């Protein structure tokens, strides 16, 4: 009897092992949907479409990018959290609605940790600090000194209250030991327009928004707030090599699936995302946007999300940021 029982257990394990490659071989067996919580044409949407093109070329299944815009990404998060966990619905994520939202919205319709299965971080992009040409500073140290001499007087534009650019600007000010006037706009574009018009003093946002204006001389670029200088502005020093050693202000984009998606599918997706991000044409397009590939394992991506939730919570608590 014991032998028969052991044989049955062995047979079940063998069937499971045989079935796994078959399941992987069959995935994906229908079109894949990549949900983005932000408008078409932006950096996150552009990255999603780049990934979609490469997935289609590799797997032969159509990939549809669906823009579920609204509530700072919450609608997209809720959509994917409730989707069938079969690997055919994926979500593009940013630190904003995955890390900051839990501290800002008491009735958030998803749990960033429990409701998603991380696949990988995809890219990292350093923020750029730029100022109006008439501001009497020429480097980061000068900006910090001016802000300290005039507490609350220097104005910094952002893309809206509790937006990623607002929270990162608050974090920057905390780390620099300065107090500035944070001016919210309805998006980065109108914020930059007022900076170009001299109606605000500074803006801290992604490279792709400001780099061209710095190159043209319409704005002064003071610091790239990443680990290395940017190919877009090689003459602009990093904050770490000038006045703020050890401080980085960056954003990242990642991709997740609904919780419960089989581990084998998550791992297959991870391998494919790592391959795509390493392609030379992809890296070239990312560089033009101010991003660099920065893939991680699913486990490391989960750890990153948890750490960001803790850091964002600390910033929000210390600054008193609230959604209106």
Q: How many residues does the structure list for the chain?
A: 324
pLDDT of the residue at 106: 87
- Copy the structure tokens of residue 269: 């997706």
Domains of the chain: 32-124+251-319 (3.40.190.150), 126-224 (3.40.190.10)
Q: Each residue of 207-249: pLDDT tens digit?
A: 989 999 999 999 999 999 999 999 999 999 999 998 999 999 9
What's the whole-model pTM score?
A: 0.85
Q: Each residue of 150-167: pLDDT tens digit?
A: 999 999 999 888 888 999
Contacts of 200 (CB under 8 A, 6+ apart): 132, 155, 156, 157, 183, 191, 194
- Name all contacts of 222-225 with Cβ < 8 Å and 24+ positions apart: 222/129, 222/130, 222/131, 222/137, 222/138, 222/139, 222/140, 222/142, 222/143, 223/128, 223/129, 223/139, 223/140, 224/126, 224/127, 224/128, 225/126, 225/127, 225/128, 225/129, 225/172, 225/249, 225/250
Cβ count within 10 A of residue 33: 18
Q: Are 76 and 37 in contact (CB under 8 A)?
A: yes
């Amino acid at each position: 009897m014991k032998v028969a029982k052991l044989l049955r257990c062995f047979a079940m394990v063998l069937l499971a092992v045989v079935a796994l490659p078959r399941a992987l071989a069959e995935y994906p067996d229908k079109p894949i949907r990549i949900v983005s919580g932000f408008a078409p044409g932006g950096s996150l949407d552009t990255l999603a479409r780049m990934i979609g093109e490469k997935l289609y070329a590799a797997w032969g299944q159509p990939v549809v990018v669906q823009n579920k815009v609204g509530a700072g990404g919450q609608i997209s998060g809720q959509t994917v959290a409730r989707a069938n966990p079969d690997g055919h619905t994926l979500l593009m994520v940013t630190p904003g609605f995955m890390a900051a939202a839990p501290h800002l919205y008491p009735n958030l319709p998803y749990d960033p940790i429990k409701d998603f299965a991380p696949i990988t971080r995809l890219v990292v992009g350093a923020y750029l600090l730029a100022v109006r040409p008439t501001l009497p500073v020429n480097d980061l140290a000068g900006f910090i000194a001016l802000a300290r001499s005039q507490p609350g007087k220097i104005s910094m534009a952002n893309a809206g209250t509790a937006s990623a650019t607002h929270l990162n600007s608050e974090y920057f000010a905390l780390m620099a030991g300065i107090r500035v006037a944070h001016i919210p706009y309805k998006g980065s574009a109108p914020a930059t327009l007022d900076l170009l018009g001299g109606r605000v003093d500074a803006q801290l946002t992604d490279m792709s928004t400001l780099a061209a204006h710095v190159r043209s001389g319409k704005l002064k670029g003071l610091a790239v707030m990443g680990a290395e200088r940017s190919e877009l502005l090689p003459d602009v020093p990093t904050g770490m090599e000038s006045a703020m050693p050890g401080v980085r202000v960056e954003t990242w984009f990642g991709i997740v699936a609904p919780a419960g998606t089989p581990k084998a599918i998550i791992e297959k997706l991870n391998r494919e995302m790592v391959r795509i991000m390493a392609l030379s044409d992809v890296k070239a397009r990312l560089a033009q946007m101010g991003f660099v590939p920065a893939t991680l394992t699913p486990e490391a991506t989960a750890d990153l999300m948890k750490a960001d939730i803790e850091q964002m919570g600390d910033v929000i608590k210390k600054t008193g940021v609230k959604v209106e």
